[in-house]
Each structure stands twice: as structure tokens, then as C-alpha cells.
Amino acid sequence: EIKMARILKFNSDKAEEVIAALHKDIEEIDHHLNHLVDYTISWYLMLKEKYGKNFVRKTQIRSFDNIEASKVVEANEKLYINREEGFIGTGMKKDEFVCNCSDIDDIIVFFKDGKYKVV
């Protein structure tokens, strides 16, 4: 048995309003989850608008010049040659050392008969 005073305190209209508000909140959250990128962008724009005046930018926005990799790459390989067998490469440690080079360098080898090969 439920006491009569308890039943009278329960306001069904107010409860239905609360339930309707909760359903509306759930729909709004579902919309935000389905459009997460747009929601995130609008969130950060709101933060910028709200707090941006109080915090001055400490970094600079600028573009970089084009950097040629061949000019800044480190000479991290050692070039070796085996003249008897005609091989040249970086993994032949027991053969004759030629020079330091990088792994993006191209090597031109000239043969005695005038032919050449790019390695």
C-alpha cells in the first residue's frame, strides 16, 4: 500500500516535463556524436570567441621555404668497391673504401671502355 500523502506529492506533469527534457538532451547528444567533426570545430570556435581576447598568441604563423633533401641529408653510409669483381655498394665492408655518402645519393661509375652506370 502506498500512502495517500506520497501519491499526492507526486506530480505527473512535472515528471513528464523532466522526461521530455531528457529525451531532447539525448537527441541533441546523438546529433553531436553523428556530426563529431562539425561539433568539435564549433566547440573550439566557441572557446576562441569566449577566451581568445584574454590570451595573446605566443607563436608565429609563417610558411617554410622548400628544403632540398639532398642538401641537408647526412652522409650516413660508406661506399665500398670491389674492383676485381666489378661490384660497388655500401654493404661490402671487406673491400676498398671509396667515400662517405647518403642513402639518397646516386653514384656514377665510369668503365675503361667509356661505358657508365648510375648506381
For residue range 68-108, list pLDDT tens digits in order.
Answer: 777 777 888 888 988 888 888 888 888 899 888 888 888 88
Degrees, nearest 5: CA angle 45-46-47: 90
- Supply the pLDDT for residue 29: 96
Domain ranges of the chain: 4-51, 69-118
Q: Are 117 and 90 in contact (CB under 8 A)?
A: no
- Supply the pLDDT for residue 7: 62
Q: Are 104 and 95 in contact (CB under 8 A)?
A: no
SS (H, E, C) the chain: CCCHHHHHHCCHHHHHHHHHHHHHHHHHHHHHHHCHHHHHHHHHHHHHHHHCCCCCCCCCCCCCCCCCHHHHCCCCEEEEEECCCCEEECCCCCCEEEEEECCCCCCEEECCCCCEEEC
Q: Are 88 and 106 in contact (CB under 8 A)?
A: no
- Supply the pLDDT for residue 82: 87
pLDDT digits (tens, 9 = 90+) for 14-73: 888 899 999 999 999 999 999 999 999 999 999 999 998 898 888 998 888 887 777 777
**116 or 12: whose pLDDT is higher?**
116
Residue position matching grid coordinates 547528444: 29
- CA-CA-CA-CA torsion for 63, 66, 69, 72, nearest 10 degrees? -70
pLDDT grade for 9, boundaries at 50, 70 and 90: low
pTM of the predicted structure, to 2 decimals: 0.40
